[in-house]
Amino acid sequence: MTELWLIGIGTGHPGHVTLEGRDALRDATTVLIPRKGAGKEDLAHLRHAILNGAGATARVIEFDMPVRDDSLPYQDRVARWHDEIAARWQFALEDAPDGPVALLVWGDPGLYDSTLRIAARLSPAPRLRVIPGITALQALTAAHAIPFNTVNGAVVVTTGRKLRDHGWPAGAETVVVMLDGECSFRTLDPEGVEIWWGAFLGMPEQILHSGPLRAAEPEIIALRAEARARHGWIMDTYLLRKQ
Ligand SMILES: C[S@@+](CC[C@H](N)C(=O)[O-])C[C@H]1O[C@@H](n2cnc3c(N)ncnc32)[C@H](O)[C@@H]1O
């Protein structure tokens, strides 16, 4: 593989793919698609629908995503997992035709996504091209029709784990939380905090809720649990702001 294109596809709406992304999908020779296992079939279907919509004629090669070894400490577990994914890309592409290889990356390749870190493990290193995509942050603020930041205000984008472990980030008026399977907003003092929450942003199943954190907290916890049980999985993001 001499050229690898990472194409941001947005957060689940086929219309999130930019014109630049569509052109790249049409121009790619090979598209590499991960098989993520039970429960995530909808996402594989979405990737195929995006390819069809773009009129892509590339050869599609699928590979099975490896499973993380939970017995290892966090950093080692992630590093080994990335090594294994890079090895599977190389194995899957052994007989691929010459020409650019494309990967459809959820949201934007630069935000809480390790595709660039995995690509850095490839040897020989391919030429990289990154095509930006709509992030979950943009999908969330657009769905609620709110600005990302206050006037001249700082925003911290963080994870549920960091919010739980360290509380409200110093100096931030606005905090956006991703990768939170545990409703970590529960650990905050709700006084003066508003929340804008969204699940399945951009998809037909999209759910939104917002309000003062104290009142919204139990409602979001219930909505999230119910949606997760119904679909078998969930992706959600929220924005917190101190008034
Ligand atoms: C591994 S990160 C990928 C982020 C992605 N690269 C982006 O640009 O948005 C996955 C997290 O993104 C958020 N996310 C992605 N898609 C989402 C969606 N459709 N609705 C709500 N949150 C989403 C969730 O917080 C999820 O835990």
Say which CATH number the domain at 100 has: 3.40.1010.10
226: helix, strand or coil: helix
13 CA to centre of own chain? 13
- Judge if 14 and 112 occupy the same domain: yes
Tell which of 119, 134, 149 closes a domain.
134
Domain identity same for 177 and 150:
yes
Answer yes or no: do 95 and 147 share one domain.
no
pLDDT of residue 45: 83
Q: Is 113 in the pocket of ligand 1 (CB under 6 A)?
A: yes
- Which of 106, 134, 162 finishes a domain? 134
Q: Which pLDDT belongs to residue 41?
A: 55
**Please, are residues 45 and 104 in contact by the beta-carbon 8 Å criterion?**
no
Mark whether 101 and 199 lie in a shared domain.
Answer: no
Check whether residue 217 and residue 158 sit in a common domain. Answer: yes
Q: How far is the CA of 236 from the centre of ligand 1 (A)?
A: 7
Q: Is any ligand 1 atom within 6 A of the Cβ of residue 112?
A: yes
Do 10 and 128 belong to one domain?
yes
Residues contacting 97, CB < 8 A, separation 6+: 29, 30, 59
Domain boundary among the residues 101, 119, 134 is at 134
Ligand 1 center to 178 CA (angstroms): 7
∠ CA 15-43-25, nearest 5°, is 50
Tell which atom from ligand 1 comes closest to the C-alpha of 114. Answer: 1
235 lines ligand 1 (CB under 6 A): yes
Classify burial at 5, counting beta carbons within 10 Å of its beta carbon; exposed 0-12, middle 13-18, buried 19 or more.
Answer: buried
Q: How far apart are CA 94 and CA 235, in angstroms?
A: 33
* Atom 5 (ligand 1) nearest CA: 107
Based on the domain organization, do 151 and 130 belong to the same domain?
Answer: no
Number of folded domains in the chain?
A: 2
Tens place of pLDDT per residue across the chain (243 aa): 899 999 999 999 999 999 999 999 999 999 999 987 766 655 778 888 999 999 999 999 999 999 998 999 989 999 999 999 999 999 999 989 999 999 999 999 999 999 999 999 999 999 999 999 999 999 999 999 999 999 999 999 999 999 999 999 999 999 999 999 999 999 999 999 999 999 999 999 999 999 999 999 999 999 999 999 999 999 999 999 998
Q: What residues have CB less than 8 Å from 76, skipping those under 6 apart? A: none
Contacts of 172 (CB under 8 A, 6+ apart): 154, 155, 156
| Domain shared by 81 and 186, yes or no | no
Q: What is the model's pLDDT at position 116?
A: 97
User: What is the span of the domain harbouring residue 233?
Assistant: 137-242
Q: Is the CB of 16 under 6 A from ligand 1?
A: no
Where helices occur in the chain by DSSP H, the ranges are: 19-27, 41-54, 74-92, 115-119, 136-144, 160-166, 213-231
Sign, CA dihedral 130-234-205-150, equals negative
Co-location of 72 and 159 in the same domain: no
Cβ contact 241:193 at 8 Å: yes
Q: Are 20 and 115 contained in the same domain?
A: yes
Q: What is residue 39's predicted lDDT score, i.e. its pLDDT?
A: 60
Residue with tokens 């690898």: 4
Q: What is the pTM of this model?
A: 0.94
CB 94 within 8 A of CB 101: no
Residue type, 153: G
Q: Are residues 104 and 30 in the same domain?
A: yes
Q: Are residues 128 and 203 both part of a single domain?
A: no
For 58-77, the DSSP string reads PEEEEEEPPPP-TTS-HHHH
* Mutate-to-test residue for ligand 1 from 7, 11, 224, highest number of ligand atoms within 8 A of CB: 11
CA 17 / ligand 1 centre spacing (Å):
15
Q: Is the CB of 175 under 6 A from ligand 1?
A: no
Give the burial string for 119-130 (b: 16+ CB within 10 Å, else e). bebbeeebeeeb
Q: The domain that contains 217 carries what CATH number?
A: 3.30.950.10
